[in-house]
Structure 1
Amino acid sequence: MEFPDLGQHCSKKSCNRLDFLPVKCDACKNIFCCEHMNYSSHQCEPGLKKNIQMPVCPLCKKPVPTPRGQKPDCTVGEHIDNDCRVAESKKIFTNHCTVATCSGKEAVPVLCSECRQNYCFKHRHPSDHSCSGDAEMAKKIAESNNPFGIIVKKTFTVTSIQGAMSEDEALAKALAESKRLTRRNLTNPAQRCCVS
């Protein structure tokens, strides 16, 4: 051998491999090959005691101490629920219901299509919050002095369209009208209209 002093043998008894780039463990001070240099691969008790990972809270970016044997996810979850100051300042449910007797809040605004007021999911339909719709909208437009704010809305109810017909009769009438319009458009291409 030309270089008898080059490299060292792995300290793990089952390996004892000659490694030319050995690694000295900083905890137990023994020499190991590249396969056994991790604390867990050579069962290094001082290294395992030393190997403590501390998770960081994703909201406030502060380290969250985790006791041995406990999962970091649990401690981070507890931190967010109890101690995290950023989570307290971020209020999620900020959209209050306009109904005076309701204390409901939602994460997203739920605007009524008639009166443009914000409501909770329980009061979102015009019939659930006694919506006066167009009267409130006209009052708001008049108060804003916006000449271009006039909104023309057609409101339809099922009874105004369907009348006293049952659902099956209304469906049959709608299909017949659709066929009539289709035939008219096919026979007279100059009067074709777009039905949306």
Structure 2
Amino acid sequence: MEFPDLGKHCSEKTCKQLDFLPVKCDACKQDFCKDHFPYAAHKCPFAFQKDVHVPVCPLCNTPIPVKKGQIPDVVVGDHIDRDCDSHPGKKKEKIFTYRCSKEGCKKKEMLQMVCAQCHGNFCIQHRHPLDHSCRHGSRPTIKAG
């Protein structure tokens, strides 16, 4: 017993295979076999409307918008040069920027510790007036013995 109306032939000109489970292309609305249903396999003229790829920056994993006619590699390259937060060539902010004002001390701290009397910036070790020999205040300080 034959079923002449069962299944459809592949719309690819070089194939025309009778397929009982054809796949309809959502862009060009034609029926294709399992081998020709991808856009590239049947050279779909409307693939650009559906097959949209958004490139992702390899350094910061941010999706990069690409306009029609732009080359994705060039757009990602521009992003890396200008906007990328993880660019290795960009100058990173220094974390330890506050250097101790005590003579001979080269320590740097993340937080600014200003002496209330002399207004100097000091590290944790020299933050107290007695530790940095503070003499600029309104009252003289004496080192504890």
**Alpha-carbon separation, structure 1, partners of 2:69 and 2:63:** 19
* Structure 1 stretches of at least 4 aligned residues deviating more than 6 Å after TM superposition: none
C-alpha contact (below 8 Å) 1:39/1:48 kept by paired residues: no
Which residue of structure 2 aligns with residue 30 of structure 1?
A: 30
**Alpha-carbon separation, structure 2, partners of 1:43 and 1:20:** 22
Root mean square deviation of aligned Cα: 4.1
Please state whether the residue corresponding to 2:46 is helix, strand or coil: helix
C-alpha contact (below 8 Å) 2:64/2:75 kept by paired residues: no
Q: Which has the larger share of helix? A: 1
Unaligned runs of 5+ in 1: 99-113, 119-138, 145-196
**Alpha-carbon separation, structure 2, partners of 1:19 and 1:143:** 88
AA aligned opposite 1:76 = V
Aligned runs of 1:54-133 on 2, under 5 Å? 54-56=54-56, 59=60, 61=62, 63-68=64-69, 70=71, 72-83=72-83, 87=85, 92-94=92-94, 95-96=96-97, 115=105, 117-118=107-108
What do the CA deviations read for 1:8-60 (whole angstroms, capped 9, x no partner)? Answer: 11011211111111011122221110110011111111224542322245748
**Alpha-carbon separation, structure 2, partners of 1:54 and 1:18:** 36
Q: Which of the numbers 139, 143, 148 marks the counterpart of 2:131?
A: 143
**Alpha-carbon separation, structure 1, partners of 2:63 and 2:46:** 27
Which residue of structure 2 aligns with residue 131 of structure 1?
A: none
Using CA pairs under 8 Å that are at least 6 residues apart, name the structure with larger relative contact order, 1 or 2: 2
**Alpha-carbon separation, structure 2, partners of 1:38 and 1:69:** 23
- Residues 33, 75 of structure 1: alpha-carbon distance in 2 compared, 3 angstrom cutoff: same
1:80 positional shift = 4.3
- Residues 67, 83 of structure 1: alpha-carbon distance in 2 compared, 3 angstrom cutoff: farther
**Alpha-carbon separation, structure 2, partners of 1:61 and 1:22:** 37
AA aligned opposite 1:42 = H
Which residue of structure 1 aligns with residue 44 of structure 2?
A: 44
**Alpha-carbon separation, structure 1, partners of 2:69 and 2:49:** 9
**Alpha-carbon separation, structure 2, partners of 1:97 and 1:77:** 36
Percent identity of paired positions between Structure 1 and Structure 2: 44
For this pair of structures, how many residues does the alignment match? 108
Could you tell me the TM-score, scaled by structure 1's length?
Answer: 0.41
AA aligned opposite 2:40 = S
